[in-house]
Amino acid sequence: MPLKADKPETPPQIATRLRPDAITKSGMLSRERQRLLIHAAKTALAAALCWWLALRFGLHDGYWGSISAIIVLQSNVGATVTASRDRLLGTLIGAALGFGFSLLNAPLLLSYVLALLAAVLISGLLGLSNSSRLACVTITIIMLVHKEGPRWGLAFDRVTEVMMGIVVALAVTTLILPDRARLRLRDGLAQEFLLLGAFFEAILVGFRGAPAENLQTLREDVEAMERGNDQLLQASQNEPSGAGWPEGLSMLSQFGRSLFDSLLALELSVQDSHTDAYAQQLEPALGQLAADIRAGFHSMADCIRKWRFSVAPEELNLEQDIAGLEARMDAVRHTGLGFSQPEILRAYAVQLHLKQIARLLRASRVETSRAVGQARS
């Protein structure tokens, strides 16, 4: 029977409530389709605008501006800034090396190979590994494309065309229906905490009962959500934002990973517990803590959506629940001789992990409140 302080739910009831549609996956898919349509329209607009500008100013190879705009324009502002930086630096490095090595009095093949080696090494030493391929592409065009005129002219044209594409892409992504990575990350973190709460409930279904059918699916969903949020976190660091946003988002991401690790440990501790009876003596304190932890995940998701962490939920007192559970454990400790050692150890492991999860939940609100500069209560 699952842990709960009030009317218990059966495993099938909980499994039904924990279906993907219960955590708004359909809404997520709808928003993603809308973002995809907007991104497609913005990409087409940026490429067409670059081509029009190339014709307007008489650029012979103006299509490189359109190519650059297509490459760097990402689904959100932060990712576009990152891609623009990588492409611009890669183009500058490649243009300088391509022109410089073309002046060597050596066979073209040798100069070309040396230029590529230099581009990869310099990019790596400068911490610009994402720019190394773009530098090599620019070197290839400057040194191997046959075109009338000096090589410096080709290098200058390439940098000009790439800069035009980058400027247009940045203008389109920031001025036309901008999609901020930090706002997407905020929503993603709220969804992550809801998934963590669902995963927590699914784990407890397997405590003194059969494992939940969707346990593995929920675990994979949390892992996928964490990967997506990590990408958004990196992109959001390149966006202008208000005070506290970068610190708060980074802290919530760290707490999410810590909570997931604790839940994995809890999952291991409830294995083979279907015949355990010792933990039943810890009720109702154990069930009360579990129920409030479940509510705590939902409360944190609501705090993240509203971006307000200063007010503690009145109905939750996790520290009081922990104190009640510890008092209950002291009261039943003398009965341990009547139970097997493995089930006693499992009960102790479960309560330890529950206390850790409860404290992580509370700390995630309190520490984030401090990071974003909100008065704590």
Q: Using the predicted structure, report yes or no on whether residue 5 has a pLDDT greater than 80.
A: no
pLDDT in tens, 37-64: 999 999 999 999 999 998 888 877 778 8
Per-residue pLDDT band for 15 (boundaries 50, 70, 90) equals: very low
Write out pLDDT tens, residues 75-95: 889 889 989 999 999 999 999
- How many Å apart are CA 162 and CA 64, to the nearest integer? 7
- And the tokens for 179? 């999609």
d(CA 302, CA 305): 5
Rounded CA gap, 255 and 45, in Å? 40
C-alpha–C-alpha distance, residues 133 and 117, integer Å: 11
Q: What is the mean pLDDT of residues 348-366?
A: 93
CA triplet 292, 364, 215: central angle to 5 degrees?
A: 55
pLDDT at 226 over 70: yes
pTM: predicted TM-score of the whole model, two decimal places: 0.77
C-alpha gyration radius of the chain:
28
Which domains does the chain carry? 31-175 (no CATH), 180-371 (1.20.58)
Q: What percent of the chain has pLDDT over 70?
A: 90
Task: Indicate the helix (H) or strand (E) that contains 218.
Answer: helix 215-236
DSSP element (H, E) containing 212: none
Query: Distance between CA atoms of 358 and 293, rounded to whole angstroms?
Result: 6
Nearest to 361 by CA among 273, 301, 279, 283: 301
How far is it, in rounded angstroms, from Cα 84 to Cα 162?
9
Q: Is the pLDDT assigned to residue 313 strictly greater than 90?
A: no
User: pLDDT at residue 23 above 70?
Assistant: no
pLDDT at res. 113: 95
Tell me how far apart the alpha carbons of residues 149 and 355 are, in angstroms, rounded to a whole number: 73
